[in-house]
């Protein structure tokens, strides 16, 4: 079974979730200062890994992320990235071996098994 490592770090207003496998590293970056709190991502997350934060308090001036991320539940599918209207979410994918370009092309890959 493929091993999956997860990690989370916070820098300024950026919450960065990382997922590492033998093949790739995915970084899901949530910049909560950009977030408008619309909660579209909460509604559509297929793993229910996103929850609404204290929206009323944030509206009154509290410095907190409007969306809370459950790192254990997140599978880095990227749906929040694709649907966020203010681009508060972004995702970077680093392919380890083989690189992404050759994987997306139709040339057959060397089997790793």
d(C-alpha 83, C-alpha 85), whole Å: 6
Q: Does 100 bind another protein (CB under 8 A)?
A: no
Choose which of 46, 56, 61, 85 interacts with another protein (CB under 8 A): 46
Q: Can residue 56 be called a binding residue for another protein (CB under 8 A)?
A: no
- Binding status of residue 94 toward another protein by CB under 8 A: no
Question: Using the rule CB under 8 A, is 27 a contact of another protein?
Answer: no
Pick the closer one to another protein by CB: 58 or 79. 79
Q: Using the rule CB under 8 A, which residue among 13, 23, 55, 71 binds another protein?
A: 23
- Tell me phi and psi for residue 30, to 5 degrees: -115, 110
101 binds another protein (CB under 8 A): no
Q: Tell me if 81 contacts another protein by CB under 8 A.
A: no
Residues contributing to the site for another protein (CB under 8 A): 1-2, 4, 21-24, 46-47, 75-79, 103-104, 106, 109, 111-113
């Amino acid at each position: 079974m493929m091993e999956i490592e997860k990690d989370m770090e916070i820098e300024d207003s950026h919450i960065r979730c990382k997922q590492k496998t033998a093949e790739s590293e995915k970084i899901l970056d949530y910049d909560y200062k950009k977030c408008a709190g619309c909660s579209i991502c909460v509604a559509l997350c297929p793993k229910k890994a996103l929850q609404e934060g204290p929206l009323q308090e944030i509206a009154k001036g509290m410095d907190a992320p409007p969306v809370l991320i459950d790192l254990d539940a997140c599978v880095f599918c990227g749906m929040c990235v694709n649907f966020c209207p203010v681009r508060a979410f972004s995702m970077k994918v680093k392919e380890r071996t083989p690189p992404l370009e050759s994987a997306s092309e139709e040339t057959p890959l060397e089997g790793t098994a």
